[in-house]
Amino acid sequence: MVSGSRASEFQDTMIKRAKGVTISQVADAAGVARSSVSRAFTRPDMLLPETVERILKAAEALGYVPNHTARALSTGRHGNIGLIVPDIANPFFPPLIQAAQLEADRSDFCIFLGNTEENPKQEDKLVGRFAGQVEGLVLTSSRLSDERIRAHASQLPLVLINRDLEGIPRVLIDSGSGVRQAVEHLAQLGHRKIVYVSGPSNSWSNKQRRAAIRTAASSFRMELEVVPAVLPSYSSGRNVVDAILSAGATAAIAFDDVTAQGVLAGLSERKVAVPATFSLIGCDDVLGAVTYPGLTSISNRSNEAGRLAISLLLEMLSNRSIRDVRYVLETHLVVRGTTAAAG
Amino acid sequence: MVSGSRASEFQDTMIKRAKGVTISQVADAAGVARSSVSRAFTRPDMLLPETVERILKAAEALGYVPNHTARALSTGRHGNIGLIVPDIANPFFPPLIQAAQLEADRSDFCIFLGNTEENPKQEDKLVGRFAGQVEGLVLTSSRLSDERIRAHASQLPLVLINRDLEGIPRVLIDSGSGVRQAVEHLAQLGHRKIVYVSGPSNSWSNKQRRAAIRTAASSFRMELEVVPAVLPSYSSGRNVVDAILSAGATAAIAFDDVTAQGVLAGLSERKVAVPATFSLIGCDDVLGAVTYPGLTSISNRSNEAGRLAISLLLEMLSNRSIRDVRYVLETHLVVRGTTAAAG
DNA sequence: GACTTTCATGCAACCGGTTGCATGTCAAGT
DNA sequence: ACTTGACATGCAACCGGTTGCATGAAAGTC
């Protein structure tokens, strides 16, 4: 399968490592001490303006670039932060990662990305590997136990997304508000019995959504049945369609959009018209705009969560203190084409 | 919108920085010189087995963890590699990133992720920022000019994905083979006039696909029209549907699956039945299984590309040499539900 | 005019490892 | 018994910056 071909078999070339210009060379060129060069970059106000200028000019001429590693060694600050997610391929995460990176970038921080494949052991290993090279860490939808998380938090600044652990700064996307709106929406459309297609059992978000739906359904006097989908995936959703239909419901809310899309496909295959005879609502709003009919969903805000988590972490780093903060991002229903009056 | 709430307003706590155990402390504890501790970890064969064991035991007891930064400073190797992509949110990239990270992980390397937002300036800036902290770099679908890429390549080991630049190691996903199969498939179904919905003009993949389609179409004596979509995105695809239809074609091949999905939605809206009256083929095969009907597409192999690029880079790093290699990954057509005989 | 004060700059130690070379020990070779 | 060599370990310089303190010259005070 791999058709590997070398363009020119024998053109191996030794790498000429860019032999980094050092602070000493700049110092010699400018006729000052190394410390002055250092200060010219870090605290120019300590030096005479003309000295600073002379140094900068010399540096410029030599093509000097401060060595990040050396600086990190003496200051202890390397300007990197780690971001760990369970599954990059799940469309929930890319916007979060993107926003996180943008925010980090604004303060000249770089992001180390870790992907745990939904595996707690891998997550633990990654945290360990990152620990030495980052100033702080953001754990997204962590699958680790409370104890492990606390252990890590005692080693380095940590911010959690979608995990509610007292004493550790955290950003939570509260689907509760959106879920209530979704149930109310279905109630107003005349649906009397609905299904919740649940997600991973160890997920904080899943527990939270299930509870919110249960409460809302009972307050609107609707019947609710929970149909479990093992993983938040397209095929899981597709596999539970029969279970959904045999429950005798006229509408369903799925754990996330990916699952909902699977359900949508399964319904199509079985010639069940959406939304004419069955209504469907997703969660996370990552696919809503790209299905046809457009998927009614609960807004996501993962990008805000990413941005917020990073800015929280940066704040912790500059203050060298942690506050027991708990940011909650509320969500709301986005109505599109997969919901209509009960047939 | 952001309902920020602090659980406990005044519970600020100072961070107790884990005050890292150093090599000297271990040396004292084990009654040896610092250098021996260092060697116990890096070249145990230089020491007596019992000495190594004694040192390791002492290290274990003190909870010593080698300081990555310090090691990087003296050795010049920090065990990080940078990976730069134009758009994490495009489903083409997550599998690539995932595979790259897995491969890097096997050799204990960490991945720095950079997202350029399809912006060459941002890309240039990121490369610069990464340069000091990574041993090598993988540029995926770079939007930079040849000159900039060469300039960077002279500074540090570089591997390209989907960019064909002589003298720089590169991994190319050759959609040519898949594209030919796609055109042939359409020809056999009786289509006489087709449209290519093109992608970013500075993208190597786009040029390559366009050329391949052109060649294949003429060899099957089919008419071809190129309709440009500015960006590879859902909305771009949706926006060009009118242009596609007014071209009078009965089938289209889109630059990528995301664009194709936009086209699919646009066709649905205009009540054009797919595949009954119009056939559509995507590229990258990232969404094929999750649309309904399933999108016929050209296989992707982005994960293999990611894995290969990293292993190539690691090889370069350990050899300290570059070979002018050019790996080509062939693709093929995956037929699903969006193609049928011309109406 | 002698005596502080201010402030720009230099000196040297330090961050935490790595590594070439010197030293000391012990066993084998003659 | 004396040399030789092998080999385990220690010494100290080095990677490239940062930073507390010392120094010395210019400016301010009485």
B287: in domain: yes
Using alpha carbons, list the distances in angstroms from residue B112 to A34, A97, A127, A258, B131: 31, 12, 15, 28, 11
Determine the pLDDT at residue A129: 82
From the CA of B46, how many Å to the C1' of D3?
26
Residues of B with Cβ-Cβ distance to A77 under 8 angstroms: none
Is A10 a residue whose pLDDT tops 80? Answer: no
CB A309 within 8 A of CB A265: no
Measured between CB atoms, which of B262, B268, B323 is closest to A6?
B323
Compute the average pLDDT of residues A309-315: 94
Residue of B nearest to A104 (CA): B114
Q: Determine the nucleotide nearest to B73 by Cα–C1' distance.
A: D15
Determine the pLDDT at residue A14: 53
Query: Residue A195's pLDDT band (boundaries 50, 70, 90)?
Result: very high
Residues of B with Cβ-Cβ distance to A285 under 8 angstroms: none
Using alpha carbons, list the distances in angstroms from residue B255 to A129, A342, B227: 39, 40, 10
SS3 sequence of B178-223: HHHHHHHHHHHCCCCEEEEEECCCCCHHHHHHHHHHHHHHHHCCCE
For an interface test with B, which of A78, A323, A328, A331 has the most B Cβ atoms less than 10 Å from its Cβ? A323
Measured between CB atoms, which of A129, A132, A166 is closest to B67?
A132
Q: Where among A66, A96, A120 does a domain terminate?
A: A66
Measured between CB atoms, which of A15, A73, A258 is closest to B70?
A73
Residue A147 dihedral angles phi and psi, to the nearest 5° = -65, -50
**B142 & B164 share domain:** yes
A213 or B80, which is more confident: A213
For an interface test with A, which of B290, B301, B302, B332 has the most A Cβ atoms less than 10 Å from its Cβ? B290
Q: Which DSSP state fits B295?
A: P
CB B15 within 8 A of CB A323: no
B87: in domain: yes
Is B12 a residue whose pLDDT tops 80? Answer: no
Contact residues, A window 226-255, toward B, CB-based 8 Å cutoff: 234
Contact residues, A window 127-146, toward B, CB-based 8 Å cutoff: 129-133
CB A174 within 8 A of CB A208: yes
The answer to whether A98 contacts B91, with C-beta atoms less than 8 Å apart, is no
**B191 & B86 share domain:** no
The residue length of chain A stands at 343
Q: Which residues touch strand D (CB under 7 A)?
A: A 20-24, 34-35, 38-39, 41-42, 64-67, 70-71, 73-75; B 31-36, 39, 46-48, 51, 70, 73-74
Q: Where among B12, B33, B66 does a domain terminate?
A: B66
Is A130 a residue whose pLDDT tops 80? Answer: yes
Using the Cα atoms of residue B148, residue B154, residue B155 and residue B160 in order, give the sign of their dihedral: positive
Determine the pLDDT at residue B309: 97
Determine the pLDDT at residue B303: 93
From the CA of A56, how many Å to the C1' of C7?
21
**B209 & B269 share domain:** yes
Q: Does A15 touch chain B (CB under 8 A)?
A: yes
Measured between CB atoms, which of B3, B88, B133 is closest to A328?
B3
Taking the C-alpha atoms of residue A318 and residue A289, their distance in angstroms, rounded to an integer, is 39
Q: What is the CATH number of the domain that holds B56?
A: 1.10.260
What is the residue type of B300? N
Q: What is the CATH number of the domain that holds B278?
A: 3.40.50.2300
Compute the average pLDDT of residues B177-182: 95
Contact residues, B window 23-62, toward A, CB-based 8 Å cutoff: none
The percentage of chain A sitting over the pLDDT mark of 90, rounded to a whole number, equals: 69
Using alpha carbons, list the distances in angstroms from residue B237 to A78, A130, B262, B290, B322: 42, 40, 4, 17, 40
**B271 & B186 share domain:** yes
Q: Does B264 touch chain A (CB under 8 A)?
A: yes
Measured between CB atoms, which of A112, A290, A325 is closest to B6?
A325
Q: Where among A5, A33, A66 does a domain terminate?
A: A66
CB B259 within 8 A of CB B267: no
3-state secondary structure of A304: helix
CB B66 within 8 A of CB B56: no
B1-A216-A228-A287 Cα dihedral, nearest 10 degrees:
-30
pLDDT digits (tens, 9 = 90+) for A72-106: 999 988 889 999 999 898 889 999 999 999 999 89
Determine the pLDDT at residue B291: 75
Compute the average pLDDT of residues A200-222: 93
In DSSP terms, A137 is beta-bridged to A82, A158
The answer to whether B322 contacts A65, with C-beta atoms less than 8 Å apart, is no
From the CA of A70, how many Å to the C1' of C13?
16
The answer to whether A97 contacts B88, with C-beta atoms less than 8 Å apart, is yes
Q: Which nucleotides of C are covered by protein (CB under 7 A)?
A: 8-12, 14-20
A18 or B339, which is more confident: B339
B342: in domain: no
Residue A309: closest CA among A131, A85, A122: A85
CA atoms within 13 A of residue A82's CA, in its CB half-sphere: 26
- Burial class from Cβ neighbours inside 10 Å (0-12, 13-18, 19+) for residue B179 reads buried
**A282 & A219 share domain:** yes
Taking the C-alpha atoms of residue A286 and residue A260, their distance in angstroms, rounded to an integer, is 11
Instruction: Tell me the pLDDT of chain A averaged across its residues.
Output: 89
Is A273 a residue whose pLDDT tops 90? Answer: yes
DSSP per-residue codes, A252-301 = EEESSHHHHHHHHHHHHHTT--TTTT-EEE-SS-SSGGGSSSPPBEE---
What are the start-end ranges of the H helices in chain B?
A: 23-30, 34-42, 49-62, 68-75, 93-106, 120-131, 146-155, 175-188, 204-219, 234-239, 241-246, 257-269, 302-319
Compute the average pLDDT of residues A46-51: 94
Matching residue, tokens 């797919």: B274
Determine the pLDDT at residue B305: 97
Query: Residue B1's pLDDT band (boundaries 50, 70, 90)?
Result: very low
Matching residue, tokens 């939304």: A275
pLDDT digits (tens, 9 = 90+) for B279-295: 999 999 988 667 778 89
Tokens standing for residue B161:
């994905």
Determine the pLDDT at residue A284: 92
**A105 & A214 share domain:** no
What is the residue type of B192? R
A72: in domain: no
Determine the pLDDT at residue A13: 58
Asked if the Cβ of residue B66 lies within 7 A of any atom of strand C, the reply is yes
Q: Determine the nucleotide nearest to A25 by Cα–C1' distance.
A: D16
SS3 sequence of A170-189: EEEEEHHHHHHHHHHHHHHC
**A131 & A167 share domain:** yes
Taking the C-alpha atoms of residue A11 and residue A146, their distance in angstroms, rounded to an integer, is 54
A294: in domain: yes
Picking from A108-122, A136-150, A192-206, A240-254, which range would have the lowest pLDDT averaged per residue? A108-122
Measured between CB atoms, which of A5, A13, A112 is closest to B112?
A112
The answer to whether A321 contacts B13, with C-beta atoms less than 8 Å apart, is yes
Helix H or strand E segment including A6: strand A2-6
Compute the average pLDDT of residues A284-306: 86
Residue A140: closest CA among A166, A121, A114: A114
**A168 & A178 share domain:** no
Residue of B nearest to A157 (CA): B15
From the CA of A122, how many Å to the C1' of D3?
58
Taking the C-alpha atoms of residue B49 and residue B57, their distance in angstroms, rounded to an integer, is 12
Determine the pLDDT at residue B10: 42
Taking the C-alpha atoms of residue B235 and residue B290, their distance in angstroms, rounded to an integer, is 18
**A91 & A162 share domain:** yes
**B198 & B284 share domain:** yes
Q: Which nucleotides of D are covered by protein (CB under 7 A)?
A: 8-12, 14-20
Distance from CA of A186 to the nearest CA of B (A): 24
Contact residues, B window 153-182, toward A, CB-based 8 Å cutoff: 154-157, 166
B75: in domain: no
Compute the average pLDDT of residues B108-112: 87
pLDDT digits (tens, 9 = 90+) for A132-176: 888 999 999 998 999 999 999 988 899 999 999 999 999 999 989
The percentage of chain B sitting over the pLDDT mark of 70, rounded to a whole number, equals: 94
**A160 & A210 share domain:** no
Q: Does B74 touch chain A (CB under 8 A)?
A: no
* First vs last C-alpha separation in chain B: 51
A71: in domain: no
Determine the pLDDT at residue A324: 86
Taking the C-alpha atoms of residue A252 and residue A229, their distance in angstroms, rounded to an integer, is 13
The total domain count for chain A is 3
**A185 & A273 share domain:** yes
Query: Residue B19's pLDDT band (boundaries 50, 70, 90)?
Result: low
Taking the C-alpha atoms of residue B233 and residue B36, their distance in angstroms, rounded to an integer, is 57
pLDDT digits (tens, 9 = 90+) for B33-49: 999 999 999 999 999 99
Picking from A306-315, B101-110, B226-235, B318-327, which range would have the lowest pLDDT averaged per residue? B318-327
3-state secondary structure of B118: coil
B343: in domain: no
Residue B63: closest CA among B108, B16, B19, B31: B19
Using alpha carbons, list the distances in angstroms from residue A275 to A161, A196, A335, B98, B269: 34, 17, 12, 36, 15
Give the domain extent around B204. Answer: 174-299
